[in-house]
Amino acid sequence: MDRFEISHAKLDLAVPRAYGETTKMKKALLGLLDDNKSYWEDQPDEAVRDAWYKRKKKDGRYELSQSQGETLLAQLHGGVRSSNWRRELHALASGDVQTSTLNSGCAGRAEIEIVGQSCDNLITPEHGVVQSYVEVYVDKVRFRMREEQTSQVRVSEGHYIRITPPDPVKHPGVVILPVAHSTGEVLLVRQYRHPQRAFLTEIPRGFGCLGDSDKFNAAARELREETAAEPRRRVDGHQELEFLKAVCTDTGKLVEAPDYFLAIVDRQLQEQEINRVEPTMEDPLWVSLDTFYEAIFHEVWLKEGEYSHALNPERRSQLNSPHDFQEEPLVISDAFSINAAMLALPRLARRFPDRVSPEFLRRLSTWG
């Protein structure tokens, strides 16, 4: 009979966070994994959560028989035996998060249950470099729905789209809010976005790459590529690049949860470097912290002197489409920039108390 080795950290990802049953489920799983059901049933919830966290941190391994694995998956589904248990068990054991879903779900528990998970990526080699950044699948699912005629709730079958980076675990996207260390100014970029068919002003962001050693390396690389800026180094040699949070972009169809960062940079060095680098693709500009936050809530018509371009006039003329804010206002409308602004605000208040002052917060309350 087959035996499976399962990582505790991967098992933790498969535990549904719903219905207030998470601790109860972990108690049952620990009883199964340790073959000591009565011991864990008698443990208080706090002890169960503490033990689970410690095992997750150590990322221990469990060797399970096929029958134990089937029982484990049934417990993950609230006692319901899954017809896909064999595939799910292999997914947990192999660590393959791309072609397998850790938890197939159960329509009877109001989850979206995967009946047939697609392994056919709709992005093909003929799409070129796009295949390096995204994969698109359409899964066959079962879900609860309310009938309009009778108002009764029943389980129905249908399809659901799933969009994911090639490796959302090892190489998620990164979003970086660059702020000048001496003035608190924010460094933005102007980029043409195909879906909107327009130039948008936003903070730097991008996909993770296979060559990135970790998320900090990916964030520093993306910041450098788009703005030529580098996070400052403290006296201890570490970069002033703070991880904020991983945020799910669109829980309706996207698997990704990009990592958000706050980068403290040297404006003078950034401007020297970007005017040296060839070629220049983006058009970075500096705005005050006040202006950045105000532009999130409404249009801001900027006067000369209220913003400054990082590129010198000669370099900007080479872009062929240089932009000034004399004919249209500054608007921050992309979710990435807005998320980063909200996540970074407490840290910016500690770092720049003279900028994020009570007066600033008073004005912030009037912008919404």
Cα(96)–Cα(91) distance, integer angstroms: 6
Strands 259-265 and 174-180: parallel
Do 287 and 275 reside in the same domain of the chain? yes
- Is residue 353 assigned to a domain? yes
- Is residue 169 assigned to a domain? no
Whether residue 354 has pLDDT greater than 70? yes
Ramachandran category for residue 78: left, alpha or beta (phi over 0 → left; psi -120 to 50 → alpha): left
| pLDDT tens column, 267-322 | 998 888 888 776 666 788 999 999 999 999 999 998 888 888 888 888 887 776 66
Cα(296)–Cα(202) distance, integer angstroms: 10
The whole-number pLDDT of residue 98 equals 41
Cα(259)–Cα(139) distance, integer angstroms: 26
How many domains are there within the chain?
3
Do 221 and 363 reside in the same domain of the chain? yes
Give SS3 for 64: strand
Do 207 and 58 reside in the same domain of the chain? no
The whole-number pLDDT of residue 52 equals 86
Cα(99)–Cα(342) distance, integer angstroms: 34
Q: Is the pTM of this model over 0.85?
A: no
Which of 9-23, 59-73, 152-166 is the most confident on average? 152-166
| pLDDT tens column, 186-212 | 999 988 888 898 889 999 998 877 667
What CATH code is carried by the domain that includes residue 251?
3.90.79.10
| pLDDT tens column, 118-155 | 778 899 889 988 888 888 988 888 888 888 888 888 88
- What is the average per-residue pLDDT within 205-222? 83
Do 244 and 355 reside in the same domain of the chain? yes
Do 253 and 354 reside in the same domain of the chain? yes
Do 204 and 225 reside in the same domain of the chain? yes
More confident residue, 216 or 314: 216
Residue with tokens 């033990």: 51
* Portion of the chain with pLDDT greater than 70, in percent: 85
Which of the residue ranges 5-19, 60-74, 255-269, 320-334 would you say has the lowest mean pLDDT? 5-19
Do 196 and 323 reside in the same domain of the chain? yes
Residue with tokens 């049933």: 41
What is the pLDDT confidence band of residue 159, given thresholds at 50, 70 and 90? very high
Output the average pLDDT for the chain: 82
Give SS3 for 244: strand
More confident residue, 11 or 292: 292
Give SS3 for 287: strand
- Is residue 41 assigned to a domain? yes
- What is the average per-residue pLDDT within 10-17? 69
Cis, peptide link before residue 166, omega less than 30° from 0: no
Q: Mind giving me the DSSP string for 301-360?
A: -PPTTSEEESS-HHHHHTTSS---TTSS-B----HHHHHHHHHHHHHHHHH-TTTS-HHH
Do 248 and 342 reside in the same domain of the chain? yes
- Is residue 289 assigned to a domain? yes
Last residue of a domain, one of 102, 136, 156: 102
Do 284 and 154 reside in the same domain of the chain? no
Let me know the angle formed at the C-alpha of 189 by 315 and 286, rounded to the nearest 5 degrees.
80
Helix 66-76 and helix 22-33, axial crossing angle in degrees, nearest 10:
170
What is the pLDDT confidence band of residue 99, given thresholds at 50, 70 and 90? very low
- Is residue 5 assigned to a domain? yes
Do 25 and 126 reside in the same domain of the chain? no
Whether residue 97 has pLDDT greater than 70? no
The DSSP letter of residue 153 is: E
- Is residue 267 assigned to a domain? yes
Whether residue 360 has pLDDT greater than 70? yes
Residue with tokens 């079962």: 142
Whether residue 117 has pLDDT greater than 80? no
Do 183 and 319 reside in the same domain of the chain? yes
Do 206 and 301 reside in the same domain of the chain? yes
Q: Mind giving me the DSSP string for 71-121?
A: HHHHHHTTTPPPTTHHHHHHHHHHT--SS--S----GGGTS-EEEE-----
Helices and strands, counts by H and E, the chain: 12, 13
Q: Look up the domain containing 242 and give its range.
A: 174-367
